[in-house]
Amino acid sequence: MIKKIVFSGIALAVLLGVFIVARVWLFSPEDGIKRVSIPEGVHDPAEWGKAYPLQYQGYLKNREMAPSPTGFGGSEKTQKAVMEPANLMNFKGMGFSKDYTEDRGHPYALEDLRETERLTPKTTGACMTCKTAQIGGIFKDKGWAYARTPLTDLLPTLKHPITCSNCHDPKTMNLRVMNPAFIEALAKKGIHVRKASRAEMRSYVCGQCHVEYYFEPETYRVVFPWNKGLQPEQMYAYYAEKPAGFTQDWVHPDSQTKMLKAQHPDYETWSTGTHGMAGVACADCHMPFLRESGRKYSSHWVTSPMRTVEESCRTCHTQSKDWLMARVKTTQRHVWDMQLRAGSTVSRAHEAIAKAAADSRVNGAELENARELLRRAQWYWDIVSAENSMGFHNPAQVLNTLGQSVDLAHQAIATANRAVSASHGK
Ligand code: HEC
Ligand code: HEC
Ligand code: HEC
Ligand code: HEC
């Protein structure tokens, strides 16, 4: 009798084991979606769509253009200067004063690169690093040499914007990172992207593009300024050491200040925010799980999560949809108000320095101090303004950064005025 019980116990355990193994190896337990091996180099999402129709349908929705449910951001190509006129003064003398639009869906990346008025005959290939799925093949063939090749030479060969292969290994469908700059930036910190966990990859795939970067002089290699850390102060300190001789993105024509242009630091800002610190990945909010006939799959409509509050937020939060929407909007309104104040104070600092510089009795050393204060003030404003969530990814830090910007811009104005009035007394 006891023998029988033991025997059937063992038999049950073996059966269960076989069942688990079968689930794991044969039927992909995560989502029940059958993996199909697609050859490397196939970038047309329609080809991938034959094997993965639900994800492809979602991807196609990225072409939809609509205002954001919060009133900030959105998927339409509107000029940012309409809402924030300080951009025109603060980016004077460089492309972003001519053309600086709100971002829209991934399928538009290449089209928007081709059309931007920021392109000049001198624009280099480095600019396409984050705009096309073909980057992997190009880097394999040419290494970093592509980065200094004129963009006009490369553009005719580019057919595919950001598509499936930017984020997926076509053979296994595992997540992967393609941008060599991201892999190098993490390697410098002792992190190997290829060893990353699935949870980390759910943010790394986005972090490869949604980050601050600069082009190294001469080589045009794309580099992330992360050696000292990912916060605005730490990135500024990194730039202050003139890495590889990099001193500025451009010189402002009025204030003659050597300026930095900040680029979309969504990853950096998120990383030290409430959600980033709690391990909530970009994909948790921006690519939430959906269900279709009982099957779980990831939304591939990568847009404002406030369009899908139920799936994006209420998986963790018990508050109502209206409450969450109101919290997000409140944060964004506070940030927007401070961002406008910082931007316009920075503009006034450019004017004050230009005015002081035109005075023949100006104290040159004081004027240089004013320029350094302005350079920092604008960096602190721009690193928030260029971020895409209007503060949501890290409300407390972003408001602190804007506060520093306003303070520094006022100091720049006072120093410029003193540079003239002090010498008037002499
Ligand atoms: C911007 C990056 C990105 C792009 C582009 C992208 N995916 Fe994904 N995909 C993800 C992420 C993130 C997941 C979730 C993976 C995980 O949690 O392991 C995912 C999951 C999947 C899965 C696994 C099942 C699921 O839905 O969770 C399939 C299949 C898939 N994607 C197909 C596609 C196809 C087909 C395309 C192109 C039409 C595509 N993906 C484009 C990021 C991307
Ligand atoms: C290969 C680079 C690249 C990758 C990878 C990438 N993005 Fe983007 N993303 C961009 C670019 C470039 C744009 C702007 C495209 C345009 O405006 O033409 C953009 C736009 C967006 C937008 C704005 C869409 C809208 O409707 O306004 C969101 C949201 C976004 N990305 C989130 C993500 C998330 C989340 C991930 C990871 C799952 C990710 N991105 C991965 C480069 C990338
Ligand atoms: C906790 C949820 C959450 C996480 C995690 C998160 N985001 Fe967001 N993100 C938001 C919200 C909310 C907004 C504001 C949307 C709006 O105003 O409609 C936003 C806005 C954005 C936008 C601008 C969208 C637009 O309409 O132009 C981009 C781009 C973006 N996030 C990228 C990222 C990236 C990259 C990561 C990871 C590094 C990330 N987000 C992590 C919630 C999140
Ligand atoms: C994977 C879980 C998860 C998801 C998804 C998530 N959150 Fe959170 N959220 C948290 C955690 C954890 C905290 C920290 C406080 C706490 O424990 O409640 C938090 C805090 C917040 C806070 C207060 C702190 C702050 O930074 O303002 C707000 C507001 C918030 N979340 C809104 C949202 C919205 C809106 C979304 C969807 C776009 C969202 N969350 C998606 C887990 C999540």
> Which of 336, 330, 334, 345 shows the shortest CA–CA distance to 404?
345
pLDDT (0 to 100) of residue 324: 98
What confidence tens digit (pLDDT) does each residue in 43-76 have?
A: 999 999 999 999 999 999 999 999 999 999 989 9
Q: Confidence band (pLDDT; 50, 70, 90) for 389?
A: very high
Token code pair at residue 362: 């100006």
What confidence tens digit (pLDDT) does each residue in 123-172 have?
A: 999 999 999 999 999 999 999 999 999 999 999 999 999 999 999 999 99
Percent of the chain having pLDDT more than 90? 88
Residue nearest to atom 43 of ligand 2 (CA): 209
Quote the mean pLDDT of the chain: 93
* Residue 302 CA to ligand 3 centre (angstroms): 9
* Residue 386 CA to ligand 3 centre (angstroms): 13
Cα dihedral across residues 231, 262, 354, 352: positive or negative? negative
Residue nearest to atom 39 of ligand 2 (CA): 206
Atom of ligand 4 nearest to the CA of 278: 12
**Ligand 3 cavity residues, CB under 6 Å:** 68-70, 72-74, 103, 203, 206-207, 210, 266-267, 270, 275, 280, 282, 284-286, 304-306, 328, 388-390, 392-393
pLDDT (0 to 100) of residue 32: 76
> Which of 301, 266, 268, 264 shows the shortest CA–CA distance to 286?
301
pLDDT (0 to 100) of residue 3: 73
Percent of the chain having pLDDT more than 70? 92
* Residue 298 CA to ligand 1 centre (angstroms): 7
107 lines ligand 1 (CB under 6 A): no
- Cβ atoms of 124 and 153 within 8 Å: the answer is no
pLDDT (0 to 100) of residue 21: 47
Residue 180 has pLDDT above 80, yes or no: yes
- Cβ atoms of 420 and 361 within 8 Å: the answer is yes
75 lines ligand 2 (CB under 6 A): yes
What confidence tens digit (pLDDT) does each residue in 85-107 have?
A: 999 999 999 999 999 999 999 99
CATH architecture of 45-319: Orthogonal Bundle (1.10)
**CA–CA gap between residue 49 and residue 354 (Å, rounded):** 56
> Averaged over 28-44, what is the pLDDT?
83
Residue 27 has pLDDT above 90, yes or no: no
Helix 395-425 and helix 364-385, axial crossing angle in degrees, nearest 10: 160
366 lines ligand 2 (CB under 6 A): no
Q: Which residues pair with 296 in a beta bridge?
A: 291
- Which ligand lies nearest to the CA atom of residue 322 in the structure? 4
Q: Whole-prediction pTM value?
A: 0.94
* Residue 118 CA to ligand 2 centre (angstroms): 19
- Which ligand lies nearest to the CA atom of residue 77 in the structure? 2
Q: Confidence band (pLDDT; 50, 70, 90) for 17?
A: low
Which of the listed residues 112, 210, 298 should we mutate to test ligand 2's pocket, taking the one with most ligand atoms within 8 A of CB?
A: 210
- The full 3-state SS of the chain, as one line of letters, equals CHHHHHHHHHHHHHHHHHHHHHHHHHCCCCCCCCCCCCCCCCCCHHHHHHHCHHHHHHHHHHHCCCCCCCCCCCCCCCEHHHHCCHHHHHCCCCHHHCCCECCCCHHHHHHHHHHCCCCCCCCEHHHHCCCCCCHHHHHHHHHHHHHHCEHHHHHHHCCCCCCHHHHECCCCCCECCCCHHHHHHHHHCCCCHHHCCHHHHHHHHHHCCCCCCEECCCCCCEECCCCCCCCHHHHHHHHHCCHHHCCCCEECCCCCCEECCCCCCHHHHHHCCHHHHCCCCHHHHHCCEEEECCEEEECCCCCCHHHCHHHHCCCCCCCCHHHHHHHHHHHHHHHHHHHHHHHHHHHHHHHHHHHHHCCCCCCHHHHHHHHHHHHHHHHHHHHHHCCCCCCCCCHHHHHHHHHHHHHHHHHHHHHHHHHHHHHHHC
Residue nearest to atom 40 of ligand 3 (CA): 282
* Residue 105 CA to ligand 2 centre (angstroms): 6
Atom of ligand 3 nearest to the CA of 210: 35
